[in-house]
Structure 1
Amino acid sequence: MSVLGIELRRSAAIGAALLALVVGVAALYLAPGRWSQGWMSLTLTTKEYLLLLWPLALAAGAWQGRREHRARVGELFDTTPRSPLRRMLPVLVAMGATVGLSYLLVVVAGGVRVAPIAAYFPPDVVAIVLVDAFSLSAACCLGLGLGRLLPALVTAPALAVTGVLLVFFTAVMRPDWLGAVLSPAYGSSQFYPFQTVDPRVTGALAIWMGALGLTGVLLLVTRGRFARATAVLPALLGLGVAAAIVPRDEGTLIAPVDPVARELVCTDDAPRVCVTRVNANVLDTLAPLARDGLGVLAKLPGTPTQVHEDRQVWAESDNLPVPDDDILTITVGIDEHGGLAHPASVATRIVLSLGVDGTAECPRNGAVERAAAYYLLGREPVSDVGVIPGMISEEPEMNAEAVALWRGLRDLPAAAATSRVAAVRAAILQCRDSTGLLDR
């Protein structure tokens, strides 16, 4: 323990860990909206930041690995009766443990903010975080070995740049299963709130990182060209084993779904409003807003009486749920504080849909639908820009046309105007073009 304590004080271990901690926490809190949705969102965001942290750990190990060469004591230490492994064990433990611990502290720093608002803790989080921390320890070990093998001053910065390129380009390489094996940042792109990382991908990464770390240890403690050449064998064997267990299915690799996080949590009373379990913390805020929208739609016959969060996954296009005319699905967004994003738009979005889930296969007339929806809302149509989240531009002529149609509806008797709006909704349901339905 005294030797380990000396290594902690005199090696680059504490400095590297502190640097990784500062970089990780700073990256998290510069963009809190990216991980405010819950524990898995935080986990995937920190996993993405391995693009910075993994090369940093690799470079820190390389810098430490050239210590004996820098001090010119390599030949002196080689004459001691202690084996190279026993001599190097303290620095391996010091570097690997502290850098791995720094990653866990980055997750904890984000968890302090997530814990009070998160409604669901996915069990996969524990394994993913531990393997990611282990990957940083493995990077340190590999860096130590490479730093001892190539003890030049330029080795550490060169490995830092190389590490960034490797982590990034292996994460996006094809086929996907190879990227899942090679890159510690693979699987961090977030597509759905109920996303996870498949356990087989996590297991394959653990095997590959362990093999890389063992290769680094062998490079650090072996002598002679032949012995160092054989140090690559663990990496090759680990790559083979990891490739054998990693899944090949594209949907499983790119954006697997946590079925528990995807389950619906609903209000007890009607009209029923449901969100996924991972977003259950915003149900109380969403419910009255969604009910306001349903109340406006109720002016038309046969409109939906329930609002559900959209749970459709693009990778499951061959297994889509059967449409239910009584249920309207909406996208539920989470703001950077973990609350409901854009609450003022919820009722408007529901009414603008006219109670019909959108489809790209049917002809749609945006001006007609907007005029019909704003007639139900009782106010003049406005551009979707600034009203609908994600809408950044539209043709000005569209809203001008909608306003003209809306004024025509407003001049009609209420029963006649409502009948025309109902005809627009019926056309959408029947996949017919609604153009001209408000002109007569």
Structure 2
Amino acid sequence: MTTTTTTTTITATMPKAPPHPLRAEAVRGFPPLAGIAVMVAVGVMMIATARTWQGDWAETAGRMHDGLLMALPIAAAAGCWHGGRERRRRTEELWGTAVRPPLTRLLASAVPVALWMAVGYLLVLASANVATWPYAQGDHPHLILVPGDTAALMAAVLLGHVVGRIVPSLLAAPLLGVAGYAGLALLGRNGVQPLDPASFTLNGSWPVWWQPLAMAAWTLGLALALTLAYAARRRATALLPLAAALTGATLLVQGGDATWQPDPLLRRQVCDTSTTPAICVNARYGDVLPQVTTALSGITGRLRGVEGLPVRWADRENGPRADEAQLPSLTPVGWSLVRGRLVRPDRYAFEAAYALSDRGQCERQSERVMFATDAVMSYLLAPNPFRGEFDAIEAKGNAAARAHLRANLAARAKLAGMDEERRRVWLSAYFAARAVCDDEGVPSL
């Protein structure tokens, strides 16, 4: 009984192990606030531009990467402010007497800020992808840029932290943030653009698998080299991360076009062949095809049985082929396509009908051909919601304008009043002549 009581008393009076310095720094004070700051900055930017990316995986990834333009300077400024903490508290001499070496003290202070910056950015990234998922119309999430972006944020914190310890000024942090914006702008304009961690343009391409790793080696290697050169007892250890940084930079600069690969979805079409012409959209937006088919159903219904038509509407990166008509583009997201839905099917149909009867590649058209084209457009879109305002303008114009309007109205009425067989023959002749720019072959009305 006595032994048990003694053991319990000794155990109860033993002191608890002190918390790890990293844990103490990470759960309170400035680091969480820094993470919240970058999360708010990038999050507000994403919310403000949600119309232009929500529903498109590629645009979501690209817009999140664009967020580095504001996140990197914030990270550098936050690291710089935290690095000058001991100077502001006037505790530098006290820390100089600590048992832990300078490098350990620096990392214990800087790493929590870097981790919180990464966490804040990744939370916004995850939220943006969750917001895109219900409206996605094809494609898949693009996360290939995440390793390089996260490494760049953490590197910016380390670089800023070292600057904050070296520069004895309260203005060092805001000035470093401003310098960060200017530096990113300069990197994006000259021959060292591949070294800019915030530089990226979709243009139908994605980086190869090793590009983000090389970017991470370049940014983190440079930051670690500077940190070791400043705080390590053996400064020669800075040569190893410096070598990694130079290797990554060399790969990025000399890689050139080899660091990018075309998006295979942009080169593939998804088609509905049940209509004439067939309707083909870019594979990135394959799930929008039923909406496009519905929007164009009035046109394709009126063209049933007509010959001489283009084989299909197509949305190709380099424009339609000789036997195709240009499908109105679904990009940039936020115009025709918003959160996976066509916002103006009537306008989309108008643009598709115009592309179908467009003779812009031919020489100047005669007035007779223009009357015929106007009549075809009006028939395909009947009722035409966009022609009325132009007619109203001509009706209020001079005598020539009013005469032109009367001729147009007469041509429209004649085409609309034909029986189905005769109109089908007339439209077949019209589109056959259109295909070869034969003005003489266009039948009169």
TM-score normalised according to structure 2 size: 0.77
Spell out the pairing of 1:222-301 with structure 2 (5 A cutoff).
Answer: 222=232, 238-239=245-246, 241-246=248-253, 247-249=255-257, 257-260=262-265, 262-267=267-272, 269-270=274-275, 272-298=278-304, 300-301=306-307
Residue deviations 1:263-290 (CA, integer Å, cap 9, x gap): 3334485555333332123222222223
Structure 2 CA distance, aligned partners of 1:38 and 1:381? 29
Q: Residue 331 of structure 1 is aligned with which of 320, 329, 332?
A: 329
The CA deviation at 1:99 is 0.3
Spell out the pairing of 1:201-220 with structure 2 (5 A cutoff).
Answer: 201-218=211-228, 220=230
Q: What is residue 378 of structure 2 aligned with on the other side?
A: 374
1:128 aligns with 2:135: no
Q: What is residue 170 of structure 2 aligned with on the other side?
A: 153
Residue deviations 1:336-358 (CA, integer Å, cap 9, x gap): 322224222233222222366x8
1:34 aligns with 2:52: yes
Cα 1:168/1:341, change in 2 over 3 Å: farther
Query: Secondary structure at 1:81's aligned position in 2?
Result: coil
Structure 1 CA distance, aligned partners of 2:389 and 2:125? 36
The CA deviation at 1:303 is 1.3
Residue deviations 1:119-153 (CA, integer Å, cap 9, x gap): 44546x22312321221111111111111121311
Paired amino acid for 1:141? L
Q: Which sits farther off after the overlay, 281-290 or 198-207?
A: 198-207
Q: Structure 2 unaligned runs (5+)? A: 1-18, 391-396
Cα 1:322/1:411, change in 2 over 3 Å: closer
The CA deviation at 1:46 is 1.1
Q: What is residue 74 of structure 1 aligned with on the other side?
A: 92
Cα 1:45/1:412, change in 2 over 3 Å: same
Structure 1 CA distance, aligned partners of 2:48 and 2:69? 16
Structure 2 CA distance, aligned partners of 1:236 and 1:155? 28
Spell out the pairing of 1:386-401 with structure 2 (5 A cutoff).
Answer: none
Higher Cα Rg, which structure: 2
Cα 1:198/1:144, change in 2 over 3 Å: same
Q: Which sits farther off after the overlay, 284-293 or 211-220?
A: 211-220
Structure 2 CA distance, aligned partners of 1:280 and 1:12? 46
Q: Which sits farther off after the overlay, 55-64 or 77-86?
A: 77-86
Q: Residue 436 of structure 2 is aligned with which of 415, 425, 430?
A: 430
Identity %: 26
Residue deviations 1:287-315 (CA, integer Å, cap 9, x gap): 2223332233446422135443x1214xx
1:111 aligns with 2:129: yes
Paired amino acid for 2:63? T
Contact 1:266 1:273 in 2 (8 A): yes
Contact 2:117 2:153 in 1 (8 A): yes
Q: What is residue 17 of structure 1 aligned with on the other side?
A: 35
Structure 1 CA distance, aligned partners of 2:221 and 2:388? 53
Q: What is residue 316 of structure 2 aligned with on the other side?
A: 311
Structure 2 CA distance, aligned partners of 1:418 and 1:77? 90
The CA deviation at 1:239 is 4.4
The CA deviation at 1:332 is 2.4
Cα RMSD, aligned residues only: 3.9
Query: Secondary structure at 1:273's aligned position in 2?
Result: strand
Cα 1:197/1:37, change in 2 over 3 Å: farther
Structure 2 CA distance, aligned partners of 1:170 and 1:400? 58
Contact 2:281 2:327 in 1 (8 A): no
Q: Structure 1 unaligned runs (5+)? A: 314-319, 387-395
Structure 2 CA distance, aligned partners of 1:400 and 1:210? 71
Residue deviations 1:44-77 (CA, integer Å, cap 9, x gap): 1011111111100010000011112222232332
The CA deviation at 1:16 is 0.8
Contact 2:147 2:213 in 1 (8 A): no
Structure 2 CA distance, aligned partners of 1:374 and 1:115? 39
Contact 2:79 2:158 in 1 (8 A): yes
Contact 2:298 2:381 in 1 (8 A): no
Q: What is residue 4 of structure 1 aligned with on the other side?
A: 22
Equivalent pairs, count: 406
Structure 2 CA distance, aligned partners of 1:121 and 1:412? 46
Q: Which sits farther off after the overlay, 30-39 or 259-268?
A: 259-268
Cα 1:380/1:19, change in 2 over 3 Å: closer
